[in-house]
Structure 1
Amino acid sequence: MSNDTTLVLGATGKTGRRVVARLRLRGTPVRAASRSSRTRFDWTDPGGWDEALRGVAVAYVVAPGVPGPVHEFVARAEAAGVRRLVLLSGRGADTWGDSTFGLDMRSAEDAVRGSALEWTVLRASNFDQNFDEDVFHAPLVAGELALPADAVPEPFIDVDDVADAAAAVLTGTAGRHAGRIYELTGPRALTFGEAVELISRASGRPITYRRISPGEYAATLVEQGLSEDDAHHVAEMFVLMERGLIAATTDDLATVLGRAPRTFEDYVVRAAAAGAWRG
């Protein structure tokens, strides 16, 4: 069997489903894999990995929520004849120091960067779409977003820009992006308070932002159904962000795509028009 397929892990997730659609539109042979896809892939069940990797030339990898499994996956990929890996990671992962946040992503980076394969790492800032597709959505609809973030801004990035970058790297000529780490950000950094104000204005609804402590936020997440470990993990991200080490913007998206990233305002207009924050 010739190796010409692109494997997309996390194919039903926020980036994965967008990457799959882009590859299909380009005419790229693609295998969408996740726990609920036709090609099943589960990080806790290595028994199914070899079948997912059969005939694969390039793989898009989204790290699992725990450190470790990507090392075994990389070894299986090498044995299967995969030539290129593209990993989605977190912005500024090598600046996180002693933070307990992102151990899963740092482990995945170690596995991919230490492999014999051609690799590229896409480190993305927080997604714009966290405000309408993820944990921030319900509080916004309820009228108040309370987070442990103050005056340090975040260069939010549109997940469609991340998917565009991933598709470009996955389908690019051999060697063009080899050994590169791209720090993907939006065009400017906003505080969470500024982001909520833009959402409130575009949606026409009174939505406010309130700063709380990391401990209060973790407790809120537990009340909403997250495990204590997962809640601590999310809260620790904000502690890390408050250090200000990942607040700056970069030109890396333009390097990959030849264009500027979408603005947060553009995202807000599109999401509001789609009714994202209707009460």
Structure 2
Amino acid sequence: MIVVTTPTGQIGSRLVRRLLDQDEELRVVVRDASRLDDTVRERVETIEGSHDDPAVLDKALPGAEALFWLVPPNPAAPSAAEHYLRFARAGADAVARHDVGHVVGVSSAGHGWPAPAGVLSAAFAMDAELGRSGAAYRALSMPFYMENLLGQLDAILGQGAFSLTCAGDLPLASIATRDIAGVAADLLTDLSWTGQENLPVFGPGRLTPDGMAEVIGRELGRPVAYRRVSLDDYASFLRSRGAGDQAVKDLTEAFAAQDHGIYDADWAIAAPTSTDFRTWCREVLKPAADARAS
């Protein structure tokens, strides 16, 4: 039995379908079971609730050999660290209580970074907490998600530009969520691995944001530019959307660490996954843009 948290998210939904394609026995933990696709719901055991709730985990984990763990984002959380640790403490205790042998967690690249890194540091703290469960653990350690750009589709289509805080002329490590799901599926279906490790998961390209803009423009058939946003301006934007001081700190620290190379050490040793940025644009971004335009 494999237990999957966040089965309706970008990574979890892809992972569930991969595992079902391999005829694996699945149990999923989901806040709202109605959000599951009908073809998935009829083939999985469903536990409704949040996986920061020990009672929910006590329903989900009996008999489980492996667990896929992802902390859902919560922009309204007063502290990223407490948000991640609340989930991780409940998870670690339940994994130990139910003797789950293997856990695969979604984390960030950059373990060992010597400075505070906001949300990324919170993910590292989650890994340490899950590690104390005693289970074999793999922290999938990722950089910038290509899918983050889907949130800027309106700006790309309407203004011909997307914005980040990093330098336009320096390579930006990235990963497609379908490749994360693929790595997770491989680990969850072959439980021969032992111990606790951070596993860097990086895409094959070394494009700069300027280079990404050029690729996006070619695939969409229109000019697209990259515009760098200062951390101060980004912080002001977050405050204008109602973010509190700690939430602003958590996000700006993470982007500052990204700007200063938090991903570089893991990038140097990562075995590249299969989806390059141009392929992702052609197969994911362009269909989303076409659907938005229709």
Q: TM-score, normalised by structure 2?
A: 0.81
- Which of 176, 181, 186 matches 1:158? 176
Query: 1:230 Cα deviation (Å)?
Result: 3.8
Contact 1:202 1:269 in 2 (8 A): yes
Report what 1:145 is aligned to. Answer: 162
Partner of 1:40: 48
- Aligned residue among 208, 216, 221 for 1:191: 208
CA contact (8 A) 1:148 1:235 kept: no
Q: Kindly tell me: are residues 43 and 97 of structure 1, through their superposed partners in 2, closer, same or farther at Cα, counting changes over 3 Å? A: farther
The CA distance in 1 between the partners of 2:134 and 2:52, in whole Å, is 24
Structure 1: which 5+ runs fail to align?
A: 255-259
Contact 1:152 1:247 in 2 (8 A): no
Identity of aligned residues (%): 22
In structure 1, the residue matched to 2:199 is 182
| Greater mean deviation of Cα atoms: 209-218 or 60-69 | 60-69
Q: Cα 1:139–1:93, aligned 2, differ >3 Å: closer, same or farther?
A: farther
1:100 and 1:222 map into 2 onto residues whose CA distance is: 16
**Cα shift readout 1:121-145 (whole Å, capped 9, x = no counterpart):** 110111112112xx33333233222
Aligned-residue CA RMSD (Å): 2.4
**Gap change, CA 1:222 and 1:17, over 3 Å in 2:** farther
Classify 1:138/1:44 alpha carbon distance in 2 versus 1 (closer, same or farther; 3 Å).
Answer: farther
Partner of 2:235: 218
**1:80 and 2:76 correspond:** no
Instruction: Tell me how far apart the structure 1 counterparts of residues 27 and 135 of structure 2 sit (CA, whole Å).
Output: 19
The question of 1:241 aligning with 2:249 is answered no
Aligned residue in 2 for 1:264 = 277
User: In the alignment, what sits opposite 1:276?
Assistant: 289
CA distance in 2, matches of 1:163, 1:118: 19
Deviates more, 1:220-229 or 1:27-36: 220-229
Match of 2:9 in 1: 13
1:149–1:88 CA distance, 2 compared to 1 (3 A) = same
CA distance in structure 2 between the partners assigned to 1:23 and 1:33 by the alignment: 15
In 2, distance between residues paired with 1:80 and 1:223? 45
Q: Is the 8 A contact 2:53 2:90 kept in 1?
A: no
Match of 2:63 in 1: 55
SS in 2 for 1:68: helix
Higher helix share: 2
Distance 1:110 1:50 in 2: 21
Q: Determine if the alignment matches structure 1 residue 128 to structure 2 residue 146.
A: yes
Where in structure 2 are there 5+ consecutive unaligned residues?
Answer: 34-45, 74-82
2:203 match: secondary structure = coil
Deviates more, 1:262-271 or 1:200-209: 200-209
Q: Give the Cα separation in 2 of the matches to 1:87 and 1:44.
A: 14
* 2:188 aligned residue (170, 181, 186): 170
3-state DSSP class of the match of 2:171?
coil
* Paired residues of 1:120 and 1:177 also in contact (CA < 8 A): no
Task: Assess, with a 3 A threshold, how the Cα gap between structure 1 residues 233 and 136 changes in structure 2: closer, same or farther.
Answer: farther
Aligned residues: 267
**Separation in 2 of the partners of 1:214 and 1:137?**
21
2:118 to 100, 119, 132: 100
Distance of 1:26 and 1:228 partners within structure 2: 46
Alpha-carbon distance, 1:272 to partner = 4.5
Q: In 2, distance between residues paired with 1:99 and 1:84?
A: 27
* TM-score, L = length of structure 1: 0.85
* Aligned-residue offset at 1:157: 1.1
Q: For residues 85 and 201 of structure 1, do their structure 2 counterparts lie closer, same or farther at Cα, with a shift above 3 Å needed?
A: same
Q: Distance in 1 between matches of 2:114 and 2:30?
A: 29
